[in-house]
Each structure stands twice: as structure tokens, then as C-alpha cells.
Amino acid sequence: MKSFLSLNDVENLPALVKDALEIKKNPHVYKDLGRNKSMCLIFLNPSLRTRLSSQKAAFNLGLQTAVLDVGSQGWQLEFADGVKMDSDKAEHIREAAAVIGSYFDVVAIRAFAKLENREEDYSEQVMESFKKFCPAPVINMESGTGHPLQALADLITIEEHKTVEKPKVVLTWAPHLKALPQAVANSFSRWMQAADFDLTITHPKGYELVDEAVGNATVEYDQQKAFEGADFIYAKNWSSYSQYGQVLSKDPNWMVMAEKMKRTNNARFMHCLPVRRNVIVEDAVIDSNNSLVIPEATNRIYSMQVVLKHILEELK
């Protein structure tokens, strides 16, 4: 694996998941793979899980890390070409990416969708610029359109907990106070379909994801109907794609509640975290024995570790 920007960088998905599960059994078996190598984690946005699980994964591989919080520590970056740089942005991505890539063997970046301009977010300007100007392999720690490390952790979690070969997985929109990106939902949908699971997406009208993310998933506007027979319920809020970045509904009836979970096949509950309790999901669901939110977050270590392993093997 040369870089990890999306599902497109994965040659063999079942093999990658199998490898992650093997690593989880013995996390330090490749502790010499990262010796004398280093990774820079660049954050343009906040994080708890991605930051710490990435550092832990690197630690397990003997890989040194440095963290750059661009907002508080770095120069503001200009991504557009040919502009007169007379605003608050002091450094161009051409120099920044080249310099960082000359210091480190691997570079990982988090840059959320700004939700102001759909074309700009969906052009993946930040990731594509790093890929173009950074000489080191690049890892996506959530970008304008996707969160592949999260989707890989979700897939690992479902593989560990599924009781049938092809589980019914439901991605349900849930209400939120603020406009959130579509990245997690986009990636979850793509990766679940790549794993050949039976995916249903349920949301109020107006929250349709981009066609490429919906793919062949079933779209069901009646949430209660969507839950029927589900093996996994994956809750997430996202803002509208068609009316880009807008919050069209805050309907509390879309919250995941214990009463609705009764319609499922004793489904396990999932969410990428952080989650707003009693807005997205009722306490009774997230605190139940069927909740997988903590194992799912733990698997963020192994999604990053397996990606790093494959990248480091290519660097050798």
C-alpha cells in the first residue's frame, strides 16, 4: 500500500480485515517494522480517538510520532494555486507538504469538510494536495468526503460480532444540533457494500448521500421499517448533500431509542463517537449490552496499525 486515502487504495479488503484481526491478537509482533522511522500527524480539526489510536498504533510498530495542530501551532495553509497570498494564510501547501514529507516517512492528515462549498469539499483539495506535493505516503484521518480509518474499524468490529455471513446493517441518520459532514456516512456505506453486507440507509427526505456513496444500498425513509430484522444499527448525523451543509431537520423522533431496537434482530448498536447522548441515542441503548461503541473505538488502533503495517512494508 503506497498511501491510504480511501477504499480505492485497498487491493484486497477481506485480507486487510483478516490481517487487522491477527494484529489485534498480538499487537507487538511487528514492533521492529517502524524502527528508525517516523510519522507526522497533522490535525486541521479536533480529535480524541484518531489522534490517540494513531499514536498507539505507531507505538505498537516501533514508529515515532510527532503531532502538528495546524490551528493552534502551525501557519495557516493556502491551498489555491496562483493566488496573491495577502490574507491570513502564511504558507502554501506546496512548500508545507514538501517540507513535512522531507522530515517524516509517513504523513497522516485530518481536514474536515468546511460545508461551505460542495465542489471544494468533494474535490478533496487538502488530501489531493498532500498526495501531490508530499514525497511521503499519506494517510487520510478524515477528509472532506470520507473517514476510511473509521470505516475499516467499523468493518473489523462487525466481522468480530456478526452471527450470520451477510448481516443486515442499517445506517440511520439521527438528529444533531449542528451541521456535520457526510464523511463518516459516505465511507461507512462504501465499505459495508464492499464487504458485501446487506446495507439499508434510512434518513429523512433531503438527507440523501452522494450517489457514489449510496451505490446499491437500500434507501428506506421509514426508520422503523428499516430497523426490522437488522443485525447492526449504525447511527450518525450528517448535514444535507443536496442543500449542501444545511440542517433540514432536528426531529427528535429520529433518535435511536430502546423501543425501536425491539424491531431489530437483537441488533448491536454502533456509533463512531463522539456522540451526544439523548440526542443521537438514548442512554438505554448506548449503555445496553448490545452497544459496541467502545470495542469499535478500540478497533481504531487496529485499523490504523494494519494500514501502517502495509505502508511500512512497502517502504522497506
48 annotated among ligand-binding-site residues: yes
Task: Rank residues 33 and 270 by Cβ distance to ligand CP and give the closer one.
Answer: 270
Q: How near is the Cβ of 56 to ligand CP at its closest, in Å?
A: 13
Choose between 160 and 198: whose C-beta lies nearer to ligand CP: 160
Interaction of residue 48 with ligand CP, rule CB under 6 A: yes
Closest to ligand CP by CB, 264 or 305: 305
Which residues lie below 8 Å from residue 5, measured CB to CB, with a gap of 6+? Answer: 124, 127, 131, 138, 139, 140, 143, 148
Is 148 a known ligand-binding residue? yes
Smallest gap from Cβ 232 to ligand CP, in A, equals 17
Asked if 47 touches ligand CP (CB under 6 A), the answer is yes
Question: Which window, 32-40, 47-55, 120-128, 259-267, contacts ligand CP (CB under 6 A)?
Answer: 47-55
Print the SS3 string covering the chain: CCCECCHHHCCCHHHHHHHHHHHHHCCCCCCCCCCCCEEEEEECCCCCHHHHHHHHHHHHCCCEEEEEEHHHHCCCEECCCCCCCCCCCCEEHHHHHHHHHHHCCEEEEECCCCCCCHHHHHCCHHHHHHHHHCCCCEEECCCCCCCHHHHHHHHHHHHHHCCCCCCEEEEEECCCCCCCCCHHHHHHHHHHHHCCCEEEEECCCCCCCCHHHHCCCEECCCHHHHHCCCCEEEEECCCCCCCCCCCCCCCHHHCECHHHHCCCCCCEEECCCCCCECCCECHHHHCCCCECHHHHHHHHHHHHHHHHHHHHHHHC
User: Judged by CB under 6 A, does residue 98 bind ligand CP?
Assistant: no
Under the binding rule (CB under 6 A), the answer on residue 67 touching ligand CP is: no
Does residue 142 have a known ligand-binding role? Answer: yes
CB 272, min distance to ligand CP, A: 4
Site for ligand CP in 123-182 (CB under 6 A): 142, 150
By the rule CB under 6 A, 54 interacts with ligand CP = no
Task: Decide: is 50 part of the binding site for ligand CP (CB under 6 A).
Answer: yes
Spell out, one character per residue from 248 to 287, where the chain touches ligand CP: x when CB under 6 A holds, - when not: ------------------------xxx-------------
Please tell me whether residue 49 binds ligand CP under the rule CB under 6 A: yes
Write out the binding residues. Answer: 47-50, 75, 110, 142, 147-150, 176, 236, 272-273, 276, 300
Positions touching ligand CP (CB under 6 A) are: 47-50, 142, 150, 272-274
**Binding-site residues from annotation for carbamoyl phosphate:** 47-50, 75, 110, 147-150, 272-273, 300
